Structure 1
Amino acid sequence: MANFLQESPVKYVCSCGILNPITKLYFCRHCLSLRCGFCVCHEVDSHFCSNCLENIPSSEARHKKFRCNSCYVCPSCNHTLSAKAATVTVPRKQDEPVKEGEDPKTQQKKMYFLTCLACRWTSRDVGIPDQSSTTGHWPDLEYSNQARFTSIFEYYQAVVLQEKQEKREFWRRKSPKAHKYPSLTDRTGLTVSMIRRQIGWNDKNPIKAKPASISPSIASEEVQQLPEIVFTKPINLKNVTTIKQRHGQPAEQPYTVDRLYPQRKSLWIKRSLRCRKCEHNVIKPEFHPCSIKYRIQLFASYHVPEVRLVSLTNVKLTPGEKNQVILKFSNPTMQDMTITIEDLPSESEEAQLIDEIKHDFEKQVQISETGPTSTPVTLGTSLSRQPSLNEEPRPVDVGTNTTLEILDSSFILNHRDDSAEFDEEVQIEKEEPEFIVWRKSNKVSIKLNFTPNDDLEVGNDVILGFTIQYTYVNTVTNTPEKKKPQTHALTCRVYVKVGSIE
């Protein structure tokens, strides 16, 4: 039985040169390349509460500090709090009618308080008054440094707005004009502001945002002295908060448990992943919080042939001795694949490939820095979609220490058919190459001959590497001219850890 917590012995090389198992890779159908977590942009699609499943807009979530307005978390154990009803005696109002057998001065009223079903913490432990409804607004604790944090937050908001305005003004001045006289004001020498002033209208130019000055924080060497009871009175650890409880309330960081107040539950997000090169979506979830489906799910395991390590002919690996490994290939697509096993590129070929990718990368960075020639960059342009250093390719830091015997021919992987196992038709046996050990539906097991290097020592890992060339049928039509699915011959590099020298 496979251990899913164990690291996969088969790893694929991403387009940026990082090795990852196929379960952590994505496939861009527009670039026809593998993408890892560093080659995609992470974008937040929606915010929602994991308890009440309320979908909250981004502007409202930002205003509420990305916390739910009706759900609370236990400050002691971080479980979700529940509202519990209790009957209390309250004084009766003068206008309320009195029934027979009831006390004319008091009445029974149902009140609600928060309680944790895991650790039995209640809101009554810290003196929070009960509310008359389950959705009542429980009082929030005001922190001593809240005004300071608010002023710093507003200051940095003004700084960001000023930078955006300066950037927009720079692109407006730098972008070339479409023709000689784009407006009458340029030909007559009058500006829009002068005409508006002559008419008596207010100036249309927006006022530039300037951040208000705030007093900087100054470090002090004076430290508050400890109270005398710390050295004289024994400490009751039951009344002292833990590090986890203090980090749950970073603004207050209470020392005793009687200062633990319920915290609003943090919102969860649904995020989409976008290819950095072509800016097409790779992963796009459904908008509704209850849905676990995807609108777009371009996982590599749905488009790239999967390779698994089955067994070794000789379990004991010895340097310089020939051995055989059995690998299983699976076709996840609905079209047949032609698989060809090739050797890894040499150092010169890999360096040339990296130079070509870097050249394209530098072009993309130059375009993002200079901006478009016709229209300036708008204020809402996402900076996360521009090229970053994470896209720059790098050589693979894992080398092979074996000599692989390349197969003399290619083989075909049948398409995936979920109903094939329930089909009663008998498959006609065909002549298969000698290296094919087993075939069933869309899976094929092959054997590869390899020889570990002579300089390996006991305990060294034996790594086998090869390049897979496979045919991929792209059903996405980028242009109206290409209405039919296009067939491409793609390659991916695979490294397999077959074992260690004994």
Structure 2
Amino acid sequence: MANFMQNSVVSYACTCGLVNPITKLFFCRHCLKLRCGFCVCHEVDSHFCSNCLENIPSSEAKHKKNCCTNCFNCPCCQHTLSARATMVVVPKKTDDSPKEGEGDGVKAVTKKMYYLSCLGCRWTSRDVGIPDQNVATGAWPENECSYQTRFNALLEYYQAVVLQDKQEKQEYLRRKTPKAHKFPSLTDRTGLTVSMIRRQIGWPDKNTQKAKPVNITPSVATDELEDLPADVFTQPINLRNVSNIQQRHGQPSDQPFTVNKLYPQRRILWIKRSLRCRQCEHNVIKPEYHPTSVKYRIQLFANYHVPDVLLVRSEEVLHAGKSGSIILKLTNPTMHDMSIKIKELPTLSEELEMIEEFKLACKIKENTATSAAAESLKSITSSPSLTSTTLSRQTSLIEDPRIVQQKANVKLNNSELNFVLNQRDDSTEFDEDVQTPREEPEFIIWRKSNKVSIRLPFTTDESLKVGDLVKVGFTMEYTYVNTVTNTPTSHTLSARVFIDAGQILGE
């Protein structure tokens, strides 16, 4: 946690070739691969307000323009506004005629009214002339945009254009599709089969009316501009009354120049999102649906499944072309023992072969899924012509793997380092029994529970200069026990690790 807000010293290479710290990586238990933010699909699960914690459906959030109807932000300092109550004396006339000596029959009645106030900058809704309301929520007036009518007309026009283009494209595909049979079906007397097939394909029914965009008045550019007022160059400006850039961008419809035209802004809704692997389409992150819950239904973070590597220190001063060593601390986060092997990074040819194997495996899996979807749709429609690209399974957007741009400028003195990392056991942290020493390899310095410290010797590159950063890179092979299946199976996985060992201080 000491370097949480700093750049990470240890980074891992993702399957796609990008290098990230382990805190920004995910692990798919079905593909058994590391996934970064570009290798997963982001899906919105729910919308909610961070102030009132109201859970809003997606259709309603779209209708409300992704804003909360009850909560507002201050237009000056962007803090949350709170409703304040005040007592107002309101005259109330009685129905009965006034008696002698009682005046004109008007009684004073106190009534509770509400206004919005900011606890940060002391801004209130009274500053812009918004009248007090009878209720605390749901009745605050909004500042109407002068271009709202024009914007709605343009929105309706372009929606009709998109719908017309979609219908024309579907009609073109329908005409180009070859006929399946030479004779019409005599069993379909009601036409329900044809209607069902058209809905499965995504084509509209024959009696659907074609959408035609409504003609609107086109916008015309003009060169005539209003002249500036005469006192704009002579009257002094009070900067306290002028709105800043952030305040104007908060109201992009009118962008007020003065502070007295700033209106309360509705609070933007927050979302809870789930992450899905692009290759196998299984969830790697799935949060709880309720806004107040901070737990996860599925949380496949990489630091829960991959050995965590930390840099402890560098033992010697680093020189170009000379040997050095660093102390690393490895932690096993799983409930099973791990056999770890540290070896050199793959060469360029080996890395290209790995990329080609990955592409071939994705292509075979994609073809298998597409053929399976086509066979299922063929059995439903009983027509081979309907199993076109429209009905087939769409290809998932898999990030194209690339060569890792991060390069190491050292060479490991030992080609391979083999050792076993014990399983995680929380009870050993409080165990008072002294562990019996056992024979360990020379490179292991310290071991306790599921943690171990090793010495990694290397030789720096001779071409390095004073001030250059020393990058230590190695491939870490480890055994992982997959518990997704009914019978736990052991797999040998690998991860490429890059460490910033320090700078060259002398020749």
Number of aligned residue pairs:
482
Kindly state the Cα deviation for residue 258 of structure 1 after the two structures are TM-superposed.
1.1
Letter in 2 for 1:335: H
Gaps of 5+ in 2: 196-204, 378-386
Letter in 2 for 1:244: Q
Cα gap change, 1:255 to 1:277, in 2 (>3 Å): same
Partner of 2:144: 142
Which secondary structure does the structure 2 equivalent of 1:373 belong to? Answer: helix
Residues 1:395 and 2:403 are matched in the alignment: yes
Partner of 2:451: 443
Partner of 2:4: 4
26-35 vs 161-170, which moves further: 161-170
Cα gap change, 1:182 to 1:404, in 2 (>3 Å): farther
Kindly state the Cα deviation for residue 250 of structure 1 after the two structures are TM-superposed.
0.9
Cα gap change, 1:300 to 1:71, in 2 (>3 Å): same
Partner of 1:487: 490
Identity of aligned residues (%): 60
Which secondary structure does the structure 1 equivalent of 2:23 belong to? Answer: helix
Partner of 2:31: 31
305-314 vs 88-97, which moves further: 88-97
CA deviation map 1:406-435 (0-9, x unaligned): 355511111111121112333222211111
Residues 1:76 and 2:68 are matched in the alignment: no
User: What is the aligned counterpart of 2:244 among 224, 238, 242?
Assistant: 242
Question: TM-score, structure 2 length as denominator?
Answer: 0.86
Kindly state the Cα deviation for residue 94 of structure 1 after the two structures are TM-superposed.
3.2
Kindly state the Cα deviation for residue 257 of structure 1 after the two structures are TM-superposed.
0.9
User: What is the aligned counterpart of 2:234 among 232, 235, 241?
Assistant: 232
- Equivalent residues in 2 for 1:77-92, closer than 5 Å: 77-92=77-92
Cα gap change, 1:31 to 1:218, in 2 (>3 Å): farther
Partner of 1:56: 56
CA deviation map 1:436-489 (0-9, x unaligned): 011011111111110111111111110011001000011112xxxxx2011110
- Equivalent residues in 2 for 1:35-434, closer than 5 Å: 35-95=35-95, 104-162=106-164, 183-184=185-186, 205-314=207-316, 316-360=317-361, 372-374=373-375, 375=377, 386-387=396-397, 391-406=399-414, 408-434=416-442
Which secondary structure does the structure 2 equivalent of 1:419 belong to? Answer: helix
Query: Does the 8 Å CA contact 1:305/1:330 hold for their aligned counterparts?
Result: yes
CA deviation map 1:112-170 (0-9, x unaligned): 11111111111111111111121241111110111122223333434454565567667
CA distance in structure 2 between the aligned counterparts of 1:378 and 1:54, rounded to whole angstroms? 42
What's the Cα RMSD here? 3.4
Kindly state the Cα deviation for residue 96 of structure 1 after the two structures are TM-superposed.
9.3
Which secondary structure does the structure 2 equivalent of 1:134 belong to? Answer: coil
Letter in 2 for 1:240: V
Which secondary structure does the structure 1 equivalent of 2:257 belong to? Answer: coil
CA distance in structure 1 between the aligned counterparts of 2:238 and 2:275, rounded to whole angstroms? 50
CA deviation map 1:202-229 (0-9, x unaligned): x754334344444454544444432222
CA distance in structure 1 between the aligned counterparts of 2:211 and 2:423, rounded to whole angstroms? 60
Which secondary structure does the structure 2 equivalent of 1:108 belong to? Answer: strand
Kindly state the Cα deviation for residue 177 of structure 1 after the two structures are TM-superposed.
8.9
Query: Does the 8 Å CA contact 1:28/1:35 hold for their aligned counterparts?
Result: yes
CA distance in structure 1 between the aligned counterparts of 2:53 and 2:391, rounded to whole angstroms? 29
Query: Does the 8 Å CA contact 1:41/1:276 hold for their aligned counterparts?
Result: yes
Kindly state the Cα deviation for residue 106 of structure 1 after the two structures are TM-superposed.
2.9
Which secondary structure does the structure 2 equivalent of 1:92 belong to? Answer: strand
Query: Does the 8 Å CA contact 2:69/2:138 hold for their aligned counterparts?
Result: no
Letter in 1 for 2:36: C
CA distance in structure 2 between the aligned counterparts of 1:227 and 1:292, rounded to whole angstroms? 56
Kindly state the Cα deviation for residue 312 of structure 1 after the two structures are TM-superposed.
1.3
Letter in 2 for 1:325: I
CA distance in structure 1 between the aligned counterparts of 2:66 and 2:39, rounded to whole angstroms? 27
Question: TM-score, structure 1 length as denominator?
Answer: 0.87
Query: Does the 8 Å CA contact 1:168/1:377 hold for their aligned counterparts?
Result: no
